[in-house]
């Protein structure tokens, strides 16, 4: 949800949230950071700039998850109809 609410200029807020004491807040902030700044090349600046090791870990985890998702091939829907059968409508 956080990823949908933040804007590109929310850098300071995201840095503060990435250092939050709650794991889930850190993780969601890190995911938002990766989504907003990953393509621009500014993501490395975040990793270097963050002093809190837990925030750095959360950002690195979000980066790794994004890379993993980018490498995955789309899975075939397991509920799909067998070959030759009419397709099921949901």
The tokens for 85 are 């059968």
Q: What residue has token string 């109809």?
A: 81
Distance CA 28, CA 14 (A): 9
**pTM, to two decimals:** 0.68
Q: CB under 8 Å to 14, separation ≥6 — which residues? A: 6, 29, 32, 33, 36
The tokens for 70 are 């980018």
Residue-by-residue pLDDT tens, the chain, 90 positions: 555 566 667 788 888 999 999 999 999 999 988 888 887 777 887 788 888 999 999 999 999 998 888 887 565 555 555 566 555 555
54 class by beta-carbon count within 10 Å (0-12 exposed, 13-18 middle, 19+ buried): middle
């Amino acid at each position: 949800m956080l990823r949908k609410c933040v804007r590109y200029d929310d850098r300071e807020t995201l840095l503060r949230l990435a250092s939050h004491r709650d794991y889930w807040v850190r993780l969601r902030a890190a995911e938002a950071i990766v989504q907003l700044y990953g393509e621009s090349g500014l993501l490395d600046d975040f990793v270097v700039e963050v002093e809190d090791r837990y925030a750095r870990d959360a950002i690195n985890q979000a980066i790794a998850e994004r890379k993993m998702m980018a490498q995955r091939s789309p899975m075939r829907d397991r509920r799909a109809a067998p070959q030759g059968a009419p397709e099921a409508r949901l």
